[in-house]
Amino acid sequence: MYQNVLVISDNLEMARFFKDLVDLNKDYAGFKFTLSISPNSNKSKFVEALKSKVFVYNLRDKSDIETIISRYDLVLSIHCKQLFPEKMVNSVKCINVHPGYNPINRGWYPQVFAIMNDLPIGATIHEIDDELDHGLIIAREFVTNEITDTSLSLYNKILEKEKKLIKDNLLNILNNSYSTITPENDGHIYLKKDFNELCKIDLNEEGTFKLFYDKLRALTHGDYKNAFFINERSGKKVFISINIHEES
């Protein structure tokens, strides 16, 4: 049984969901949960929204790593923007909630590359090892990847699936009574540099309209400015997104 649990989340929606889940369910009364964020997240915003004390842990800081190892027996990563160092992974049980279906969608922005490459997508809870989104799988489920989805709409589906997986599996994880399966293969890792390269639109690229449609919807995520080309006259970036509406 893991009783002292550190939750590291840089996603306010998921952090709020987790806090409400454990606060309102008596099954979790015997466990101590500490909420934390990465240094680049807005601490004031999290404290105000969660009405709770929020710690900041820098996983590149050796003293923070030693603190985590000495204080907690389980670390849950729920959209943490930091890589877990090998020493921490080997010293304390670390589990990740990943917005992709492992091993198909490892790495950054899985929904983007699922749209671009017409891949299945979902959510996974897995043990963390010394490779990115690679460890033994505790639970995973698919979501539907529709041709009308943008990055944002597909991401929102994944968040809801993650919440379901957490509800269904958290108690077993805390009681160390869960089972695991080994990923079928290494899958494919998408890195942030791959996303950054995808954002650069080549106006001379040739292909089908579907290719460009998929690229634009993969890079459309609400108000984020992702896809762009360079205006040769001004030298400035011109950002592009797409609106998709299916008739009722």
* Structure confidence by residue, pLDDT tens digits, 48-82: 999 999 999 999 999 999 999 999 999 999 999 99
Domain range for 235: 194-239
Residue by residue, pLDDT tens for the chain (248 residues) are 899 999 999 999 999 999 999 999 999 999 999 999 999 999 999 999 999 999 999 999 999 999 999 999 999 999 999 999 999 999 999 999 999 999 999 999 999 999 999 999 999 999 999 888 889 999 999 999 999 999 999 999 999 999 999 999 999 999 999 999 999 998 889 999 999 999 999 999 999 999 999 999 999 999 999 999 999 999 999 999 999 999 98
Q: Do 180 and 208 belong to one domain?
A: no
Q: Do 103 and 165 belong to one domain?
A: yes
Q: Do 65 and 115 belong to one domain?
A: yes
Q: Do 153 and 88 belong to one domain?
A: yes
How many angstroms separate the Cα of 135 from the Cα of each of 93, 96, 100, 132?
A: 12, 9, 13, 8
CATH (domain of 34): 3.40.50.170
In a domain, 248, yes or no: no
Round to whole Å and give the CA distance between 108 and 132. Answer: 10
Give the pLDDT confidence score for residue 96 in this predicted structure.
97
How many angstroms separate the Cα of 107 from the Cα of each of 80, 100, 117, 170, 184?
A: 12, 8, 15, 23, 17
What the block records as the tokens of 238 is: 């011109």
Residue 102: helix, strand or coil by DSSP?
Answer: coil
Q: Do 119 and 215 belong to one domain?
A: no
In a domain, 244, yes or no: no
In a domain, 181, yes or no: yes
How many structural domains does the chain have? 2
In a domain, 34, yes or no: yes
Give the pLDDT confidence score for residue 59 in this predicted structure.
96
Round to whole Å and give the CA distance between 233 and 248. Answer: 42
Give the pLDDT confidence score for residue 125 in this predicted structure.
98
In a domain, 246, yes or no: no
Q: Do 148 and 208 belong to one domain?
A: no
Give the pLDDT confidence score for residue 225 in this predicted structure.
97
Q: Do 169 and 221 belong to one domain?
A: no
Q: Do 132 and 223 belong to one domain?
A: no
Q: Do 178 and 202 belong to one domain?
A: no
Q: Do 162 and 43 belong to one domain?
A: yes
Is there a catalytic annotation at residue 188?
Answer: no
In a domain, 139, yes or no: yes
Give the pLDDT confidence score for residue 110 in this predicted structure.
96
In a domain, 67, yes or no: yes
Q: Choosing from 79, 98, 126, 134, which is the catalytic residue?
A: 98
